[in-house]
Amino acid sequence: MSTAAAQRILGLIDLTSLNDGDAPAAIDALCARAVTPHGAVAAVCIWPRFVAQARAKLGGSPVRVATVVNFPGGGDAPDAVARDIAACVRDGAHEIDIVLPYRRYLANDTAAAGAVLAAARAACGAAVPLKVILESGAFPDRLTLGAAARFAILAGADFIKTSTGKIAIGATLPAAETMIGTIQGTNRRVGFKASGGIRTVAQASEYLAVADRIMGAAWVGPSTFRIGASGLLDDVLITLGATAAAPAAAGTY
């Protein structure tokens, strides 16, 4: 793959570590990887307990700190979601990635799913972007996934995201096409995040091609397009002629 593609991808990465055994040393290492000789990634995405640590480690850099709530199962109550987000924001989180209560949504309990997203939107306020994880691999077809994408957008999502990376099916190109197409059809400024199994520049480039085709090449940027990954940065750096900064983190991303 070309160095131009790798350079474009670098600034769109949410460098992710959401492994059960993550420890402070692993987060320090992740933050160190986030700023490279070729530029910085868009964000690091970590467990809530590491937000303050990451903010301190990345102080002065352009890298944003994202964290996850209602993750990975999507089963928390609205008041718990609101409390968790408030704590993350106090600790310095720039962005919140929240799991849509997709099991409730798929069981036609849209009121319960909507209550969680409403609580999350209120807790984030206007300043903190809300990235709603649909868990696209759990949806039976593209029609249902597109409806869920619209549901999340109308509930105030700033981004819609494919996957937690914690179930068997992560990001797929058909899911990306459905979700980005839904964004295009709503005429709202909403971003898209692909996550779950994207590990190479070649794979990431396929998702960029979908976005370019539907939205136009000028649409893609860190405020509208992200790729959640752990190992992708290594392939980006190798493509750019650098040695990979560190072994890719173990896990599903």
Q: Which residues are known to be catalytic?
A: 97, 161, 193
Element (H, E) at 114: helix 110-124
**One-letter amino acid for residue 100 of the chain:** L
3-class SS of residue 159: strand
**Residues 193/226, Cβ–Cβ less than 8 Å:** yes
State the distance between the two ends of the chain, measured CA to CA, in whole angstroms.
21
Residue 56 Cα distances to 36, 37, 172, 175, angstroms: 18, 21, 35, 36
Beta strands 35-36 and 39-40 are: antiparallel
Rounded distance between C-alpha atoms, residue 15 and residue 230, angstroms: 5
Beta strands 35-36 and 191-195 are: unpaired
